[in-house]
A = this chain, B = another copy of it.
Amino acid sequence: MEKNKVIRVIQYGMGSIGSKIVRELLKRNRFELVGAIDIAPGIVGRDVSEVAGLPQPLNLLVESEPAKVLSSAKADVVVHTTGSHLNRIFSQIEEVVRSGLNIVSTSEELVYPFRRHPELSAQLNQLAIDKGVTVLGTGVNPGFVMDTMALVLSSVCLEVDKVKVERVINAATRRFPFQKKIGAGLSPEEFRSEVAQGRIGHVGLAESLYLTAHGLGWTIEEIKEEIAPILAETPLKTEYLEVSSGMVAGMDQLAKGMSDGKEVLTLRFRAFIGAPKPHDTIEIQGNPPLKVTIDGGVAGDVATVAMVVNSIPRILSAEPGLKTMADLPLPHAALS
């Protein structure tokens, strides 16, 4: 596409992240927001601007019928922020691709869907190729800290024996849904029960692991995942909840990737209320060995919004298909 052409965007999902993305798109001359989709009753039919918390009306309404928006808005790309799990959002993405539109999604599973959902991935890839559009799942985690960063660092390595990434987040600084997702405030028994029901835990460690392995040419035979509670040693309080001593302050989630019987990838995600010295550390055991620390860690929502917005120009010039961060050109800020 031409370098200075305005990029026409449809925002699909007007929740917290979707609204933040809308505000960023509207700030930039490079983008034009031409449609917005959501099905939530309190949102449908309202002005996008109002939903996104902006003062000036846009005279663009949030629509609940994707087909209508996708066919009439003459967009170049859809930004999709409705859910994590591919089987629940597949029909949404499929409809976008079938409409001949490129799509960048914050779906964690879409960051590397080929292992968890081989058939859906193959189907989506073929459809995207047929339609000449690019599909990308991205974000900060998965999408950056535990995969893209590790891959980029490996470019100066002759040998990589093992990749270890640790992300430590002070959950007190995050939104309520995040605090809930890590089990903050629960008793240890409740925590274990919620974990067993799949209601606690970060979605994406396995995807980061598969994406990194894919880039490095490793075959992962097995992933071992564990989630343990981190208990409050003293009473804790956030904007949204209180945690008594001995109750759950957050979680310690670990994913290990096994290749040829060896643990070659170790991703550890610790998020709890009051975590001291939050950071991201990416370590490569190899030649040369590398250890990189991001002071404070990469901030959650702002960075996710940035990665999505910055990915838009890149997917427009990419080859068609279901792509990953490892296949696309070097990611970087698209500031204009």
Contacts of A305 in B (CB 8 A): 158
- Binding stretch for chain B, among A51-59, A194-202, A221-229, A322-330: A322-330
- Binding stretch for chain B, among A68-76, A116-124, A285-293: A285-293
A328 to B155, CA, bound (A): 13
A334 to B157, CA, bound (A): 9
How many copies altogether?
2
A148 to B215, CA, bound (A): 17
A284 and chain B: residue at smallest CB distance = B333
- Binding stretch for chain B, among A82-90, A104-112, A306-314: A306-314
Given A156-B144, A292-B295, A310-B155, does the pair A215, B332 have CB atoms closer than 8 Å?
yes
Interchain CB contact under 8 A, A307 and B160: no
Q: Interface size class for chain A?
A: 35 or more
Given A156-B144, A158-B309, does the pair A215, B295 have CB atoms closer than 8 Å?
no
Of residues 261 to 320 in A, which have CB atoms within 8 Å of B's CB atoms?
286-288, 290-296, 298-299, 302-307, 309-311
Question: Is A130 in the interface zone, CB < 8 Å from B?
Answer: no
Question: Is A151 in the interface zone, CB < 8 Å from B?
Answer: yes
A25-55 vs B, CB cutoff 8 Å, 1 = contact: the mask equals 0000000000000000000000000000000
Question: Is A152 in the interface zone, CB < 8 Å from B?
Answer: yes
Question: Is A336 in the interface zone, CB < 8 Å from B?
Answer: yes
Q: How far is the CB of A10 from chain B (nearest CB, A)?
A: 20
Interchain CB contact under 8 A, B306 and A295: no
Question: Is A233 in the interface zone, CB < 8 Å from B?
Answer: no
Question: Is A235 in the interface zone, CB < 8 Å from B?
Answer: no
Interchain CB contact under 8 A, A294 and B291: yes
A-B contact pairs, 24 of them (CB 8 A): A151-B332, A152-B332, A154-B310, A154-B332, A155-B310, A155-B311, A156-B303, A156-B304, A156-B310, A157-B306, A157-B310, A157-B333, A158-B302, A160-B333, A217-B336, A286-B333, A287-B306, A290-B294, A291-B294, A292-B294, A293-B293, A326-B330, A330-B330, A330-B331
Which A residues fall within an 8 A CB radius of B? Answer: 24, 140, 144, 148-149, 151-152, 154-160, 215-218, 286-288, 290-296, 298-299, 302-307, 309-311, 325-336
